[in-house]
């Protein structure tokens, strides 16, 4: 499933746990609605390590399905492709 989103802030998170140091990014995003009548959704997306070099901008995000540690079916970010603003998030 594909959605258009705008990354408005990239927050780097790092620290140390009992398993050692960790580092990842949180992408603060505006996700466009499915139709023109839907309101945009604002939220945080944690990309997989291979997509951790994403900056601010407009993207087409592709999601797939997976199963987490608790055996729940969850959405998984598969790719982020930069797009032109006109093809992405609508403004309010």
Domain ranges for the chain: 2-87
Q: How much is the pLDDT for 49?
A: 87
Quick: pLDDT tens for 19-70.
Answer: 999 999 999 999 876 666 678 889 999 998 888 889 999 999 999 999 999 9
Q: How much is the pLDDT for 14?
A: 94
Q: How much is the pLDDT for 92?
A: 47
88 versus 85: the higher-pLDDT residue is 85
Alpha helices in the chain (DSSP H): none
For domain 2-87, the question of CATH label 3.40.50.2300 is answered with: no
């Amino acid at each position: 499933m594909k959605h258009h989103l705008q990354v408005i802030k990239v927050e780097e998170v790092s620290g140390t746990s009992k398993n050692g140091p960790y580092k990842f990014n949180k992408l603060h995003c505006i996700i466009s609605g499915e139709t023109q009548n839907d309101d945009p959704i604002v939220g945080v997306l944690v990309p997989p390590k291979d997509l951790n070099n994403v900056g601010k901008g407009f993207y087409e995000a592709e999601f797939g399905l997976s199963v987490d540690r608790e055996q729940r079916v969850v959405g998984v970010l598969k790719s982020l492709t930069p797009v032109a603003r006109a093809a992405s998030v609508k403004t309010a």
